[in-house]
Amino acid sequence: MSEKYLRDQPGEMKMMYTGHNEALIELAEENKDVVILYADFPQDKAGEYFKDKYPHRLLNLGIAEGNMITVAGGLAAGGKIPFTHCHNIFAIGRGYNQIRQLAFDKLNVKIILCNSGMLWRFMGASHQMIEDIASLRAVPDLVLISPADAVEAKKTSKAAVEYDGPVAIRLAQPEVPVIYNEDYSFEIGKAVRLKEGSDLTIFSTGIMVLEALEAADLLSKDGIDARVINMHTLKPADEKAIKEAALETGAIVTVEDSNILGGLGGIVSEAVTENVLVPLQRIGARDRYGQTGSIEELKKEYNLTKIDIAKAAKEVVKKKT
């Protein structure tokens, strides 16, 4: 999979949550077992659609995130396919034990982690969830996915229904440019090579994928050929893609909107250490909480801009020799 699935230019600004809601509406017609649950969270178009057409498949549990996940487990045990919705910080902060139990029992629940990561313009450290990847990838039998745009979010939600077992999907809050064509084929567990390159590989996930692509464009002007890979599935991670990148490009940069400790940086570092040792630099929250600010201010503060990514790429390429 490569550039052919990318739009020539980034398209309209759209929230990942919007793409997810589009999937829910289509799934409502395709599968009578799909039900949706909310914990004091905006339901958007899917909630309105279910309320009008399938009110018996819509539940609002209020400010009780742990209870919502428990209820979802009961519905799954009864043969339903529940999607839960709340802020990421509360899903994990108040429902971690319940999520762990879902995975232990292999219950078919889809956990939508809304407003994930640190790029949330009007909320600070209290709501910017930077430890979700580290927390959830340590849970056995749980799939964790982080889509890059609204198109991938929609396809992720549909793929989650086809997968029999617990799936967590982290969605960033801001509107982001759509980068994928509608014919993009999503597959759980298989990383997507968005740009070919031989000098180094940039692994990214979620909202930071576009920034990684733009960094690669900057690097090309300096004669550096960067491969870009969207690691949308954080568990199970595509270790084959990591090993190939290490062998074929000899240097790696990871980019994420979460804590590099246990996050995407940790995933790639572990795989590299076990397989092919190459220079590697991790970009993300370096064990720091977030702050209140605009998206661009936060990117600059935490070295998440395309300029920062390009700088890190140049440094790892130098280390190759």
DSSP 268-295: HHHHHHHS----EEEEEE-S----SS-H
Establish how many alpha carbons lie within 13 A of residue 215's alpha carbon, considering only the half-sphere containing its beta carbon.
30
CATH number at residue 295: 3.40.50.920
d(CA 200, CA 203): 10
Same-domain check for residues 199 and 255: yes
pLDDT score for 291: 87
Establish how many alpha carbons lie within 13 A of residue 143's alpha carbon, considering only the half-sphere containing its beta carbon.
27
Same-domain check for residues 146 and 228: no
pLDDT score for 10: 85
Same-domain check for residues 299 and 229: yes
pTM score, whole prediction: 0.95
pLDDT score for 126: 83
Q: Which domain holds residue 73?
A: 3-177
Same-domain check for residues 246 and 130: no
Determine, yes or no, domain membership for 321.
no
The answer to whether residue 53 scores a pLDDT higher than 70 is: yes
Helix (H, G, I), strand (E, B) or coil at 46: helix
d(CA 180, CA 210): 10
Helix (H, G, I), strand (E, B) or coil at 140: coil
pLDDT score for 61: 95
Q: What is the mean pLDDT of the segment spanning 158-177?
A: 96
Tokens of 279: 């220079």
Give the residue with greater pLDDT, 303 vs 121: 303
CB 149 within 8 Å of CB 172 = no
pLDDT score for 120: 83
Q: Which amino acid is at 174?
A: P
pLDDT score for 78: 97
Question: In this structure, what DSSP letter does residue 6 have?
Answer: B
Q: Which amino acid is at 76?
A: A
Q: Residue 11: which pLDDT band, with cuts at 50, 70 and 90?
A: confident
- Of 142, 121, 137, nearest to 205 (Cα)? 137
Determine, yes or no, domain membership for 186.
no
Angle at 261 between CA 287 and CA 92, to 5 degrees: 90
The answer to whether residue 1 scores a pLDDT higher than 60 is: no
Determine, yes or no, domain membership for 265.
yes
pLDDT in tens, 266-282: 999 999 999 899 999 99
CB 126 within 8 Å of CB 67 = no
Give the residue from 137, 152, 177 where a domain finishes: 177
Give the residue from 177, 211, 226 where a domain finishes: 177
Detail the DSSP E strand segments found in 197-291. 200-204, 226-230, 233-235, 252-259, 280-285
Q: Residue 121: which pLDDT band, with cuts at 50, 70 and 90?
A: confident
Determine, yes or no, domain membership for 164.
yes
Same-domain check for residues 158 and 208: no
Same-domain check for residues 211 and 267: yes
CB 139 within 8 Å of CB 91 = no
Considering Cα of 253, then 257, then 263, then 264, what sign does the dihedral take? negative
Q: What is the mean pLDDT of the segment spanning 213-242?
A: 97
CATH number at residue 110: 3.40.50.970
Q: Considering the candidates 12, 22, 26, 65, report the single residue annotated as catalytic.
A: 65
Residues in contact with 29: Cβ distance below 8 Å, sequence separation at least 6, in sequence order: none
Same-domain check for residues 216 and 275: yes
CA distances from 157 to 44, 75, 160, 286, 299 (A): 15, 18, 5, 30, 27
CB 246 within 8 Å of CB 240 = no
- Pairing verdict, β 110-116 and 143-145: unpaired
% of the chain surpassing 70 pLDDT: 99
d(CA 25, CA 166): 20
Give the residue from 177, 212, 232 where a domain finishes: 177
Same-domain check for residues 136 and 56: yes
Determine, yes or no, domain membership for 72.
yes
Q: At residue 59, what are phi and psi to the nearest 5 degrees?
A: -130, 135
Determine, yes or no, domain membership for 182.
no
Determine, yes or no, domain membership for 37.
yes
Determine, yes or no, domain membership for 206.
yes
Q: Residue 287: which pLDDT band, with cuts at 50, 70 and 90?
A: confident
Name the domain count of the chain.
Answer: 2
The answer to whether residue 2 scores a pLDDT higher than 60 is: no
Helices and strands per DSSP (H, E), number in the chain = 11, 14
Q: Residue 49: which pLDDT band, with cuts at 50, 70 and 90?
A: very high
Same-domain check for residues 62 and 138: yes
Same-domain check for residues 94 and 221: no
Same-domain check for residues 308 and 253: yes
Helix (H, G, I), strand (E, B) or coil at 257: strand
pLDDT score for 188: 98
Q: Largest alpha-carbon pair distance within the chain? A: 63
Task: Let me know if 65 is a catalytic residue.
Answer: yes
Q: What is the mean pLDDT of the segment spanning 225-247?
A: 97
Same-domain check for residues 249 and 147: no
- Mean per-residue pLDDT of the chain: 95
pLDDT score for 7: 87
CB 280 within 8 Å of CB 307 = no
Q: What is the mean pLDDT of the segment spanning 270-299?
A: 91
